[in-house]
Amino acid sequence: DADVTQTPRNRITKTGKRIMLECSQTKGHDRMYWYRQDPGLGLRLIYYSFDVKDINKGEISDGYSVSRQAQAKFSLSLESAIPNQTALYFCATSDTLVATSTDTQYFGPGTRLTVL
Amino acid sequence: GNSVTQMEGPVTLSEEAFLTINCTYTATGYPSLFWYVQYPGEGLQLLLKATKADDKGSNKGFEATYRKETTSFHLEKGSVQVSDSAVYFCALTLYNQGGKLIFGQGTELSVKP
């Protein structure tokens, strides 16, 4: 079984709808991240969490919210989806609480979201 | 600010050709540098990394050397295979930034038989 899973894998929704993307991990990692990938822009950080009580905004958090329900679960919500949120969304985890810069991040398979 | 710039793709090569994908960075501090690879339909996975100047990261025949003087971390492979077809991302992270990665835009590599 995959260590980092994301559901759904694909989703088509309409403008104004609320949508939640879910991420679960079995790696036992404390840190979790949400990124979005757009063609020609690479990946950009939306939110990150160092533990259940520590959630931080990333580079592009406007229009998104997150919930860290447990160490293993980190959900991303779009309260009112808009077409420019159409993108590929990735969840990632990493495995240390120490503020080192050498962490490896482990990525889920991604969720392709289309907002019509 | 902190940023990563990669050569634009797509890059198309024949099998067994030599590969170079250029990556340069700007950082307010002393970054660690990474190459991640994304195979079709999959998430990203770490290919190699280097944490200090002149370090060479290597994996699966790929290499990259951390060049502080030129702020570069170019990816190379001596002989590519069709199975190397993927999107390659250069990235950096800075000490005390909680492991947050800053990515380049990605370079798509297509290897033809």
Give tens-digit pLDDT for B85-101: 999 999 998 877 767 88
Best interface-test mutation with B: which of A7, A35, A43, A106 has the largest number of B CBs within 10 A? A43
State the Cα–Cα distance between residues B57 and B60, nearest whole angstrom. Answer: 11
Q: How confident is the model at residue A75 (pLDDT cuts 50, 70, 90)?
A: very high
pLDDT at A67: 96
Across chain A, where does the E strand assignment appear? 4-7, 10-13, 19-25, 31-38, 42-51, 54-57, 65-70, 73-78, 87-94, 106-107, 111-115
Cα of B56 to nearest chain A Cα, Å: 14
Task: Answer whether residue A78 shows pLDDT above 80.
Answer: yes
Best interface-test mutation with B: which of A24, A30, A105, A112 has the largest number of B CBs within 10 A? A105
pLDDT, tens digit (0-9, with 9 covering 90-100), for B7-61 = 888 999 999 999 999 999 999 888 999 999 999 888 899 999 998 899 999 999 9
State the Cα–Cα distance between residues A104 and A96, nearest whole angstrom. Answer: 9
Q: Cβ(A83)–Cβ(A104) under 8 Å?
A: no
pLDDT, tens digit (0-9, with 9 covering 90-100), for A46-62 = 999 988 999 999 989 99
pLDDT at A9: 95
Are B44 and A99 an interchain contact pair (Cβ–Cβ within 8 Å)? Answer: no
Of the partner residues A40, A101, A110, the one whose CB lies closest to the CB of residue B99: A101
State the Cα–Cα distance between residues B65 and B31, nearest whole angstrom. Answer: 13
Residues in B whose CB is inside 8 Å of some CB of A read 4, 31-32, 36, 41-46, 49, 51, 89, 93-101, 103-106
DSSP A37: E
Tokens of B24: 């340069």
Best interface-test mutation with B: which of A88, A95, A101 has the largest number of B CBs within 10 A? A101
Q: How confident is the model at residue A63 (pLDDT cuts 50, 70, 90)?
A: very high
Residue B101 Cα to chain centre, angstroms: 13
Residue B76 Cα to chain centre, angstroms: 9
- The residues pairing with B5 across neighbouring beta strands, listed in sequence order, are B24
pLDDT at A99: 53
Of the partner residues B43, B95, B99, the one whose CB lies closest to the CB of residue A94: B99
State the Cα–Cα distance between residues B55 and B72, nearest whole angstrom. Answer: 12
Name the closest residue on chain B to residue A47, using Cα atoms.
B100
